[in-house]
Structure 1
């Protein structure tokens, strides 16, 4: 079974943190370094889009009731990657306006927020999907680690714990997405601050979760290969 949810989670967390930081700069009328942000969104977006699409169409996660991971991980990654790529293209195309000799920062930032309004519909739709996935994790108690997996496997006999963790993680990202679309479509920019906080929290947890999985998943394969049961 060839999977890569470690780098997907790591990159998704980084992408959430980066977009939250970018959005914070917009609403605080700070200058935007368009080329740097375009590179950031392009790199994270491309990686998420490619791996997400591949997971979505090939279902690399194996059988034994783990097929749901292809849906819960692959499809959100592909969609988020596409959104980050949109941001990269937009910022690259407008780099001369944003970083030229004469820059009207408030006008440029207000223009970018207006440009985000149409795409916010898709962000909100993804937020709805993430909210449903959060409920699904808890309802069916999905995500329990096998006993061979270090750290997480110690709690595998209590599937509700990891289900609540994953449901909460997907849920906090969903809250940010729904607040984002409501803020833009109702012209209530004060709500964007709450969306930023939701994505900051979700981004940090996703990043740490993905980083931890490099250890726990390698440890799981080691335990399976060598017949050991390292728990930490």
Structure 2
């Protein structure tokens, strides 16, 4: 089975943290280094869109009831990647704007994000439903061969609550962002930022840990060992 959700997870975490930072600078009217941010959103966007689309259309996660991962991991990654690429293109094309008055540039950027917030809200709704599905069907339990996570595989509800909570936090941020933009309630943007910071940190740490646990899982399978840590 081909597994690359480690890179998807850490890129998602970095993307969430980066966009939260960028959005915080926008609402405070701080000067934006548009070329640097365009590069950041371009790199994370290309990775997530490419890997998300590949997961969505080829279903590399297969067998033993694990097919749901193609939906839960691939499709949100593709959508988020496309949004990050939009931000990259906008920032690169409007370099002159961001080189001028910081408050004007921030106001125009927030205005430009308003139509996009419809899709952000739609992705948030999807992430919320996925969070419910994780818990309702107790999905995400690690196999016993996987170090660390596999020690809790006999408690499927535990990892289901973790994954459902993680997807749910990101969903809350997306819905708050869309609501703030579409109802002209900018005070909600600060709560969206907080949600995405929490989700970004957890995604980043979870993805980094999976580099270790997934290598350990394959090692255990290949060598008939059962390393738990």
Mark yes or no: TM-score above 0.5. yes
Pairing partner for 1:198 from 195, 206, 209: 195
Equivalent residue, structure 2, for 1:18 = 18
In the alignment, structure 1 residue 120 sits paired with structure 2 residue 117: yes
- CA shift at 1:107, angstroms? 1.1
Q: Over the residues paired in the alignment, what is the CA RMSD in angstroms?
A: 0.4
Equivalent residue, structure 1, for 2:216 = 219
In the alignment, structure 1 residue 133 sits paired with structure 2 residue 130: yes
What is the CA–CA distance in structure 2 between the aligned matches of 1:198 and 1:66, rounded to whole Å? Answer: 28
Equivalent residue, structure 2, for 1:108 = 105
Pairing partner for 2:157 from 157, 160, 163: 160
The 4+ residue runs of structure 1 with deviation greater than 6 A are: none
Aligned length: 229
What is the CA–CA distance in structure 2 between the aligned matches of 1:179 and 1:77, rounded to whole Å? Answer: 19
Equivalent residue, structure 2, for 1:181 = 178
SS in structure 1 at match of 2:74: helix
TM-score norm. by structure 1 comes to: 0.98
- CA shift at 1:104, angstroms? 1.4
What is the CA–CA distance in structure 1 between the aligned matches of 2:61 and 2:85, rounded to whole Å? Answer: 25
Equivalent residue, structure 1, for 2:65 = 65
- CA shift at 1:37, angstroms? 0.1
- CA shift at 1:2, angstroms? 1.2
- CA shift at 1:29, angstroms? 0.6
TM-score norm. by structure 2 comes to: 0.99
- CA shift at 1:188, angstroms? 0.8
Equivalent residue, structure 1, for 2:32 = 32
- CA shift at 1:179, angstroms? 0.2
SS in structure 1 at match of 2:142: coil
Unaligned runs of 5+ in 2: none
Unaligned runs of 5+ in 1: none
In the alignment, structure 1 residue 94 sits paired with structure 2 residue 94: yes
What is the CA–CA distance in structure 1 between the aligned matches of 2:98 and 2:190, rounded to whole Å? Answer: 23
What is the CA–CA distance in structure 1 between the aligned matches of 2:47 and 2:198, rounded to whole Å? Answer: 22
